Amino acid sequence: MSTTTLFLERLGTLIQQSVREDAARHGLLPIHLQVLQYLVQANRYSDLPIAVADYFGITRGTVSQTLGVLERKGLVVKRPDSRDGRRLHIGLTPAGEAVLGESWCERVQNVLSAQADAAELEETLRAILIALQRINGQRAFGVCRECVHFQTGANGARCGLTGESLATEQTEKICREWTEPATTEG
Ligand code: SF4
């Protein structure tokens, strides 16, 4: 194992440990906390049970159980899609958002932002993540603004895939339909 691989393995283990501790503090399992963290970042095409299953590589049954627990605890709420009432969007309640306060994310972000080459580090991590997701056959779930389908014009932002307008806050979230822009190399 190379030193870089070892560092990534140690970072992964450290973060998992932090997630376990944060979750336990709220009487939750790690997956509960991870799903809350995912949902707060997910755009309107991705705040769906099927997208949660894709993101974590878990079954729909497990997603259903997990969302059921979060709903009973008052941490998430389901709301039907305005066009298709059978589709349910899942959002965090104020109590759900409060669970994410002072979490491991903030601690990691504080350390990252203190690095002199934070932007370069982000690019390197992005490239590693996309390459590994490709190898594993997983969806990339990138940030909307960085998607090949993202368009801007006089009327604001638009998704080239669905043809729908995008509110600014949606363009900063992650999407299950995200597609990597083609590189100009080669
Ligand atoms: S532009 Fe890409 S990331 Fe944004 S909503 Fe459309 S498909 Fe999703």
Digit-coded pLDDT (tens) for 34-80: 999 999 999 999 999 999 999 999 999 999 999 999 999 999 999 99
Ligand 1 atom 5 nearest Cα:
159
The tokens describing 80, both together, are 């039907």
> Could you tell me if the CB of 140 is within 6 A of ligand 1?
no
- pLDDT of res. 11: 95
* Selection from 128, 132, 98 nearest residue 26 by Cα: 98
181 Cα distance to chain centroid: 19
16: which 2 tokens?
Answer: 């998992």
This prediction's pTM = 0.90
Whether the CB of 150 sits within 6 Å of ligand 1: yes
* 139 CB within 6 A, ligand 1: no
Residue 159 beta carbon below 6 angstroms from any ligand 1 atom: yes
88 three-class SS: strand
CA–CA dist 158, 21 (Å, integer): 40
pLDDT in tens, 138-185: 888 999 999 999 999 888 999 999 999 999 999 999 999 999 887 644
CA 114 from centroid of its chain's CA atoms: 23
